[in-house]
Amino acid sequence: MTWGVVFFPGSNCDRDCVHVLRSVVGQHVEEVWHEDRSLDGIDALVLPGGFSYGDYLRSGAIAATAPVMSAVRELAARGAPVLGICNGFQILAEAGLLSGTLLPNVSLRFRCHPAWVRVESDRTPFTAGLRHGTVLRMPVAHGEGAYFATPAEVAALEAAGRVVFRYCDSLGRVTPQANPNGSVAGIAGVASDAGNVVGLMPHPERASEALLGSTDGRRLFESVVGALVGAG
């Protein structure tokens, strides 16, 4: 299968994602420029972390209007797996492809450290290979990662199984202390209604090799490969 990784001006995790997908997971990867207008031939897509367009206005706000985003919408509408990591999550939320918004951390400080998240839903291609309740260790690195949605929106997400990841401690307990940014309900990642578009703040590409201290993130990418091969 062929993955695409979108390069925006200011992205800084793009080549990390390409490396993991190409050299660790063994996938064919196309590097996609933010001005590209076609994603023909792409089976799954990653919007990586970073500071797209300097994060001027709001994080991800300018990137959400980039020329490539029309093709991202079309790809998502066709049901292809689309993953937004950190800034990529912010872009998908700004583009309206995911519910909610990402606010500044309640501490107003940039947080960069390992975090634990619990898999809350296995109805996405990125978690189809993981059991509900699985605890993963992946680092966070952001200043605007506090997920916010209204109580009604959160209730709708929960009811539809669209809360995909929730911050927790190493034993899977959701506590205020385990929440690094003040996200509502400890939400670390959500999915689209169809389940194929997922955004999360922790970085799976930074937890995909033993050298990095965790291989838990690699399981998300391998899950997609397994889901698409199984579907084929």
Catalytic residues: 86, 203, 205
The 3-state DSSP composition of the chain as helix, strand, coil percent (nearest 5) reads: 30, 25, 40
Give the closest residue to 166 by CA, choosing from 197, 134, 143: 134
Q: What is the C-alpha to C-alpha distance for residues 52 and 34, in angstroms, rounded to an integer? A: 10
How far does CA 193 lie from the centroid of its chain? Answer: 15
What are the start-end ranges of the E strands in the chain? 2-7, 28-33, 44-47, 82-85, 101-103, 111-119, 135-142, 146-148, 163-168, 187-191, 197-200
Query: What element of type H or E holds 153?
Result: helix 151-159
